[in-house]
Amino acid sequence: MDITIKTALISVSDKRDVVDFAKALAQMGVKIISTGGTARSLAEAGVPVTSIDSVTGFPEMMDGRVKTLHPKIHGGLLALRDKPEHVEAMRQHGIAPIDLVCVNLYPFEQTVARPGCTLEEAIENIDIGGPSMIRSAAKNHKFVTVVTSPEQYPRLLEQMRAGNGAVGGRRREELARAAFGLTAAYDAAIAKYLNQQAGIDFPDRTALALTREATLRYGENPHQTAALYKLPRRTEPCVANGRLMVGDTEISFNNLLDANAAFELVKEFDEPAAVVVKHLNPCGCAVDPDINIAYRKAYEGDVVSAFGGIVALNRPVDVELARTIMESYSRFGKALGAEGFFAEVIIAPRFNEEAIEIIRTLKTWGSRVRLIETGPLDRTRIDAGEYEVRYIVGGLLLQKRDLVGWEPTVLTFPTKARATPEQLEDLRVAWLVAKHAKSNTIVLAKNKKILGVGVGQMNRVESGRIAIRHAGNEAKGAAMASDAFFPFPDNVDQAAAAGIAAIAQPGGSKKDEDVIAAADKHGIAMVFTGKRHFRH
């Protein structure tokens, strides 16, 4: 059913394009009711405006807290116009119908995101009248059109012009769904802030306010549908907030998962670092003062697995680095037994224009690779309040993010042999990689380059075998990291047989004394980190 818009109530905090929108409505003969600053803006622009107090018979009061909470407003929004009792009540009480509500809400999230925002300021930016009008209009969308964003103006005006001022039922329903989504997200943001202020991590009820960013080609498999949703107003450099420069192929669900895994690992390092990820696990990682060398070392860590992987860097990509990446196979990989190389995604803080041109044109696969630009890395912008969310059938598991990294001040050294400064650096790199790999995890490193990674095995000894086998002769003198403690000395004995020189592990096993004794027997330096990094 089409409803002709005769009266509109406009009250917005975000005044982008509202004057043009109101002018267009007025030109179609729509009566404009407005409040406060919005009314002044429209009047100054020459739009005929009826003030809210002339409708309600009450002045705006209490610093604007009370102005639209009135029967003549909500009656005009909620009345069922095909129900005689409602129509009669409107007649008796002098309530006129309102056909369109254009409202957006006080900027609560922007306010609380400002440094130094006080609780009082936050409370004052909790909108009451706005959500009430939105919900009233959305509930009665059979008769009322609700507009909650400037992005909705052009399409709505186009439909009204085509329909002689009328809006169709399907469009009203669509706008109502968006309106309820907005108010739900708004309330979720307020509840989250108030819980944080009270130090409550896991309240009795919680909601995640998300906005759809993109519909994806499919999920993990072609028969699954998928979409990317973003948390609002997060400034942390990350994949979700990155600028996507898509190639010939759209980015996929799996691409985003892998890109996130790669970038979150590379963010652990302050010095130039490169990471290569395949199926959520790091197959290469290295740090070096020269980002080009760091990339080369990361790629050489596993040239076979790097094929079709994700490349993450914590430094901008210039022409030299772009060439190094695109020529990985011919420069380094072929001699190491690779069958070829291409990357699904390259993610970095920035790409200069010449580098993009090199990536797109140097190799045929360059036209397909997706580039994600995150902006400068800044660890002070990491959102420690975010949840990690895992789905189980019928519910969600929420936990705080694992933001513990390498902590030199809490390390303990239980063995007779003491790790050298060089070994500690290798242990740091191996330990951080282990943090971002699937349990059970064993990682080997030497010269700040990953040599072998064993992940996801049902027992840690098997993960050790995989890592050592991949490292080959380079395992001699290497550093080993384990994401969790050794329950028995078997991994130490296995490491000793391969010539491993130093081991980092959390400690805390009932068999720690046996494990330490095995390390002492073999002359291995062991470091206890005191922290576990299970990643299921």
Give per-residue pLDDT as tens, 127-152.
Answer: 888 999 999 999 999 999 999 999 99
User: What residue spans in the chain does CATH classification 3.40.50.1380 cover?
Assistant: 3-197
**Assigned CATH topology for domain 3-197:** Rossmann fold (3.40.50)
- Asked if residue 201 lies in contact with residue 400, where contact means CB atoms within 8 angstroms, the answer is yes
CB 96 within 8 A of CB 7: yes
Report if pTM > 0.95. no
Read off the pLDDT of residues 414-434 as tens digits, 9 standing for 90 and up: 999 999 999 999 999 999 999
| Token pair belonging to 507 | 């400690």
Instruction: Tell how far CA 258 is from the center of its chain.
Output: 13
pLDDT the model gives residue 64: 67
**Residue 365: what pLDDT?**
93
Q: Where along the chain do the CATH 3.40.140.20 domains lie?
A: 212-380, 408-528
Amino acid at 185: A
Q: What are phi and psi of 101, to 5 degrees?
A: -115, 125
pLDDT value at residue 263? 97
Q: Which amino acid is at 181?
A: G
CA–CA distance, 286 with 294 (Å, rounded to integer): 5
* Residue 145 token pair: 């059109």
CA atoms of 300 and 315, how far apart (whole Å)? 19
Distance CA(245)–CA(228), nearest Å, equals: 16
d(CA 159, CA 360): 41
Our answer to whether residue 139 is catalytic in this structure is: yes
At residue 32, the pLDDT reads 95
Question: Is residue 90 within 8 Å of 96, Cβ to Cβ?
Answer: yes
8 Å CB contact between 524 and 494:
no
Residue 142: phi, psi to the nearest 5?
Answer: -60, -30
**Amino acid identity of 133?**
M
408-528: CATH topology: Cytidine Deaminase; domain 2 (3.40.140)
pLDDT beneath 50: ranges in the chain = none
CB 179 within 8 A of CB 134: yes
Q: Write down the catalytic residue from 31, 139, 230, 511.
A: 139
- Structurally, what CATH architecture does the domain formed by 212-380 represent? 3-Layer(aba) Sandwich (3.40)
> Does residue 93 carry a catalytic annotation?
no
Answer for the pair 166, 4: CB distance below 8 angstroms, yes or no: yes
Q: Which of 15, 279, 334, 511 is catalytic?
A: 279
| Token pair belonging to 244 | 């996507």
